[in-house]
Amino acid sequence: MNDNPHQPDPSDQTERPVLVLNAGSSSLKYQLLVPESGEVSASGVIERIGESGSDVADHAAALEAMRARLADDGVDLDAVSLRAVGHRVVHGGPDFSEPVVIDDDVVARIQALSPLAPLHNPAAVTGIEAARSHFDVPHVAVFDTAFFSTLPPEASTYAVPRDLAQKHAIRRYGFHGTSHQFVSRASAELLGRPVEELNQVVLHLGNGCSASAIRGGVAIETSMGLTPLQGLVMGTRSGDVDPGLHAFLSRQVGLSIDEIDEMLNKRSGLLGLTGVNDFRELSKRLDAGDEAARLALDVFVHRLKHYVGAYLAHLGRIDVLVFTAGVGQNSPRVRAGLANGLDGLGIAVDPARNEADGGRVTEPTVISPDGSRVVVAVVPTNEELAIARQTADLVH
Ligand code: ADP
């Protein structure tokens, strides 16, 4: 009990931070934050885990390195009274449609989903196991696919032989779900309207890019599929190609399946079209009149329009169209490019609003003209905060 009402109660959960971890095969991103206020006390990334010449041998060593870095920043992990650890997990497969408190069974199930995400899930399991040994607090897994578990069967089903699809859990899952969900809630708040009333299209444009159609807060379509390769043009990923391209490259060019997979994931998209995947560099080249950069931007925007048009057809009406992530928050060119020619659909961008502060948006902002049929907004995403909040909700 706290006798003095003016003193914060040390047992008050809302003061205690959550540690959010995102474990990759050779990196560990971390952020320590209080979910209610969003106050971040530390964040960073430990890289080159397990690589030759690195002094970080494995994920357990990475946690030690993180602890030391936090101490350098004046944060003593033993003193902060950690509430829980929230883990970002890429693939929840058909099993996980919501965040879960982690136990041995959950770890085994995430591991068992590895065929669906061979690069990501084993790394997540390694990170979770190391963190469970290191921190004796509840651990929660938050899945990148979970928000899209609501896709109706006609949206999630590929037209391939049914028994094969069932046997191997082949379907559209979608990714970036934590961001799409966070941004859809935040944009409803920006409008001061309940999310249940809104038809939303969210465009998450970062290094990876994805679009979603959300009706009343429930996702009904998204552009990524079985893997994050499907859909929009991305920094290094092709997005949609003719599925026949694989057979063509195999037969005509003699590439192996692994080579094709690597090419479409790592050497395509903006990088494949221009030699650079960073939008800042692309912008400089556009300013200089570079032809390849022009075509890359046109292809990028063309594909975006394709999805927005499709989502209008699926939703019947769009109330809010939201841009988020690195490119969405910082490229007025992409936002204006999408809106160009869409006034007939009620989609327009006000140039002054779109280009204010060099087009860099740090707070939820409306960029459509007053009275537009569709509100076009830019809403910064915050996946760590979303993971911390979902974690706190499960362990309070
Ligand atoms: P990730 O998918 O890695 O989380 P981000 O959401 O951080 O990616 O977005 C990265 C992308 O955002 C990069 O292509 C980067 O060039 C772009 N970006 C970041 N800042 C700017 C900026 N000021 N202008 C244009 N693009 C930007």
218-222 β-sheet, strand order: 218-222, 209-215, 199-205, 320-324, 375-378, 365-366
Residue of 271, 280, 381 to test ligand 1 pocket, by largest number of atoms within 8 Å of CB? 280
**Residues identified as active-site:** 144
Q: How far is the CA of 13 from the centre of ligand 1 (A)?
A: 34
pLDDT band at 12 (very low <50, low <70, confident <90, very high): low
pLDDT at 316 over 90: yes
Our CA angle for 270, 340, 289, nearest 5°, is 45
Indicate whether residue 325 lines ligand 1 (CB < 6 A). yes
pLDDT digits 0-9 by tens, 319-340: 999 999 999 999 999 999 999 9
Residues 345 and 248 reside in one and the same domain = yes
Neighbouring CB atoms inside 10 A of 360's CB total 12
Indicate whether residue 327 lines ligand 1 (CB < 6 A). yes
Q: How far is the CA of 326 from the centre of ligand 1 (A)?
A: 3
pLDDT of residue 335: 98
Indicate whether residue 199 lines ligand 1 (CB < 6 A). no
Closest CA to 324 of 217, 177, 152, 150: 177
Could you give the percent of the chain with pLDDT greater than 90?
Answer: 94
Burial of 104 (0-12, 13-18, 19+ CB in 10 A): exposed
Residues 77 and 197 reside in one and the same domain = no
Residues 230 and 334 reside in one and the same domain = yes
CATH number at residue 299: 3.30.420.40
pLDDT digits 0-9 by tens, 177-231: 999 999 999 999 999 999 999 999 999 999 999 999 999 999 999 999 999 999 9
Indicate whether residue 274 lines ligand 1 (CB < 6 A). no
Residues 251 and 370 reside in one and the same domain = yes
Residues 299 and 227 reside in one and the same domain = yes
Domain contains 206: yes
The 8-class DSSP code of residue 94 comes to T
pLDDT digits 0-9 by tens, 63-108: 999 999 999 999 999 899 999 999 999 999 999 999 999 999 999 9
Main-chain dihedrals φ then ψ at residue 375, nearest 5 degrees: -80, 120
Residues 374 and 229 reside in one and the same domain = yes
Residues 300 and 373 reside in one and the same domain = yes
Residue that finishes a domain, picked among 143, 177, 208: 143
Residues 337 and 218 reside in one and the same domain = yes
Q: How far is the CA of 292 from the centre of ligand 1 (A)?
A: 20
Residues 100 and 203 reside in one and the same domain = no
Residue of 90, 224, 278 to test ligand 1 pocket, by largest number of atoms within 8 Å of CB? 278
3-state secondary structure string across 382-396: CHHHHHHHHHHHHHC
Domain contains 324: yes
Domain contains 8: no
Domain contains 187: no
pLDDT of residue 5: 45
Cβ 20 vs Cβ 86: under 8 Å: yes
Domain contains 262: yes
pLDDT band at 11 (very low <50, low <70, confident <90, very high): low
Print the domain residue range for 75. Answer: 13-143
Our CA angle for 384, 390, 393, nearest 5°, is 140
Residue 378's beta-bridge partner residues? 323, 365
Q: Mean pLDDT across the stretch 25-49?
A: 95
pLDDT of residue 6: 45
pLDDT of residue 4: 44
Q: What is the tally of structural domains in the chain?
A: 2
Domain contains 374: yes
Residues 213 and 126 reside in one and the same domain = no
Residues 345 and 196 reside in one and the same domain = yes
Domain contains 163: no
Indicate the range of 3-17, 90-104, 111-125, 352-366 predicted with least confidence: 3-17
Burial of 308 (0-12, 13-18, 19+ CB in 10 A): buried
Rounded CA-CA distance 246/256 in Å is 9
What's the chain's average pLDDT?
95
pLDDT band at 396 (very low <50, low <70, confident <90, very high): confident
Rounded CA-CA distance 92/169 in Å is 12
Domain contains 271: yes
Residue that finishes a domain, picked among 76, 109, 143: 143
Q: Mean pLDDT across the stretch 265-272?
A: 98
pLDDT digits 0-9 by tens, 157-184: 999 999 999 999 999 999 999 999 999 9
Burial of 116 (0-12, 13-18, 19+ CB in 10 A): buried
The ligand 1 atom nearest the CA atom of 207: 2
Residues 117 and 256 reside in one and the same domain = no
